[in-house]
Amino acid sequence: MEKSTTRRSERLGEARRRRGAKAVSDVRRGLILEAAQEAFAELGLAGTSLREIARRAGYTPGALYSYFASKEEIYGALLGESLERLNACVAAAVAEEAPPAARLRAAAVAFFAFYRDHPRELDLGFYLFNGVRPMGLTPALNDRLNRRLRDALSPVESALIATGRPPSAATRDTTALFAQIVGLLVLQHSGRIRMFGQHAESLLASFVDVIAGDAPSDG
């Protein structure tokens, strides 16, 4: 009985040590990612080094290799986490019981608002939007990131199909909406939308009305 109790205590102690070590590791990883995001936002991927990330995180460059093999891997991790937040934001905005047109609008607005309201997420998103492929980002990781971006647009496509569109037309209109959102984000982010005296939100709403079938498109 005494040996059994001792073994159980040892197992519990080992489990606590593992949990503690994982918690410390998670905190350190989080600090590295936070430092990297700041560096990428200020210097870009090309201008950021592992040494700079380590300096900002308060670690030696060698310590970073315990968590990430390269700055591109760090960038991929940041993008992955950003896309998970994007997907959660869009999913939370869409009420499954709502009519298709309402789901379409909610998903489009949520996608746009996520990047509008979080400039750092937008800086990360521009990697995917611009089609830049940093060396070191593996094809498998690149494909996975693109799939998660596509997943964030799936509520739009599903809503369009629910209106009676053929899947090919729904994909076409989803692509057009994505292009519209990216263009509006670029114009707003750069401030150039002021050249036209327009508001991104109003332009997005008008475009969504067109593809939802609530307003005629020109021509």
For residue 189, what is the domain's CATH number? 1.10.357.10
Residue where a domain terminates, one of 52, 68, 84: 68
Query: How far apart, in whole angstroms, are the C-alpha atoms of residue 198 and residue 66?
Result: 49
Residue where a domain terminates, one of 41, 68, 95: 68
Examine the domain organization and report whether 9 and 90 are in the same domain: no
- pLDDT tens digits, the chain, 219 residues: what are they? 555 666 666 566 555 555 554 555 678 899 999 999 889 888 888 888 999 999 999 999 999 999 998 888 898 999 999 999 999 999 999 998 999 999 999 999 999 999 999 988 888 877 665 555 555 567 888 889 899 999 999 999 999 999 999 999 999 999 999 999 999 999 999 999 999 999 999 999 999 999 998 544 444
For residue 5, what is the domain's CATH number? 1.10.10.60
Q: What local confidence, expressed as pLDDT, does residue 136 receive?
A: 58
Examine the domain organization and report whether 59 and 105 are in the same domain: no
58-92: pLDDT as tens digits: 999 999 999 998 888 898 999 999 999 999 999 99
Pick from 55, 56, 61, 90: which is nearest to 181 by CA? Answer: 90
39-58: pLDDT as tens digits: 988 888 888 899 999 999 99
Examine the domain organization and report whether 119 and 215 are in the same domain: yes
Total domains in the fold of the chain = 2
In the chain, what is the greatest distance between 2 CA atoms, to the nearest angstrom?
Answer: 86
Helices 167-190 and 200-212 meet at what angle, rounded to 10?
170
Q: Which domain range does residue 14 map to?
A: 1-68
> How many other CB atoms are there within 10 angstroms of residue 80's CB atom?
14
Query: How far apart, in whole angstroms, are the C-alpha atoms of residue 153 and residue 150?
Result: 5
Examine the domain organization and report whether 52 and 75 are in the same domain: no
Examine the domain organization and report whether 14 and 35 are in the same domain: yes
Examine the domain organization and report whether 196 and 206 are in the same domain: yes
Examine the domain organization and report whether 102 and 209 are in the same domain: yes
Examine the domain organization and report whether 49 and 121 are in the same domain: no
Residue where a domain terminates, one of 68, 96, 126: 68
Query: How far apart, in whole angstroms, are the C-alpha atoms of residue 54 and residue 48?
Result: 11
